[in-house]
Amino acid sequence: MSNDGCALSIDLGGTKVEIAIVDPQGTILTHERLPTHVENGAERVVEDILSGATALMQRSSYKIIAVGAGVAGQISSNGKEVLFAPNLKWRNFPFKEKLEKRLSLPCTILNDVRAATWGEWLHGAGKNCSDFLCLFLGTGIGGGIVAGGHLINGFSNAAGELGHTTLREGGRLCSCGHRGCLEAYAGGWGIAVTLKEAATSSPKKAAALIALAGGDAKALKAEHLSEAVKKNDPFAQEIYSQVIKSLSNGCVTFVNAFNPKLLIFGGGVALGMPMLLEKVQEEVKKSALGATGSPLQVIPATLGNTAVVIGAAAAALQSATFGSDSLRVHSA
Residues of the shown chain interacting with Zn ion in the complex, contacts defined by CB under 5 A:
164, 174, 176, 178, 181
> What does each C-alpha distance from 208 to 200, 213, 220, 225 come to in angstroms?
13, 9, 11, 10
CB of 164 to Zn ion, least distance (A): 4
**Number of CB atoms found within 10 A of residue 76's CB:** 17
Provide φ and ψ at 249, rounded to 5°.
-60, -45
Q: Distance between CA atoms of 135 and 125, rounded to whole angstroms?
A: 12
42 or 174: whose CB is closer to Zn ion?
A: 174
CB of 163 to Zn ion, least distance (A): 7
69 or 182: whose CB is closer to Zn ion?
A: 182
Q: Distance between CA atoms of 35 and 88, rounded to whole angstroms?
A: 12
164 or 196: whose CB is closer to Zn ion?
A: 164
59 or 178: whose CB is closer to Zn ion?
A: 178
Element (H, E) at 19: strand 16-22
162 or 206: whose CB is closer to Zn ion?
A: 162
| Strand extents, DSSP E, the chain | 6-12, 16-22, 28-35, 64-71, 74-75, 82-85, 90-93, 107-111, 132-137, 141-147, 150-151, 262-266, 297-300
26 or 142: whose CB is closer to Zn ion?
A: 142
* Residue of 209, 205, 139, 203 whose CA lies nearest to 175: 139
Contact 329, 122 (CB under 8 A): yes
CB of 255 to Zn ion, least distance (A): 20
Q: Distance between CA atoms of 236 and 26, rounded to whole angstroms?
A: 39
CB of 151 to Zn ion, least distance (A): 22
CB of 295 to Zn ion, least distance (A): 29
* Residue of 283, 281, 276, 273 whose CA lies nearest to 297: 281
Q: How many residues does the chain have?
A: 332
80 or 172: whose CB is closer to Zn ion?
A: 172
39 or 169: whose CB is closer to Zn ion?
A: 169
* Residue of 224, 328, 219, 299 whose CA lies nearest to 269: 224
- Residue 163 DSSP label: G
CB of 184 to Zn ion, least distance (A): 6
Task: Give strand pairing partners of 263.
Answer: 133, 298
CB of 141 to Zn ion, least distance (A): 9
CB of 222 to Zn ion, least distance (A): 17
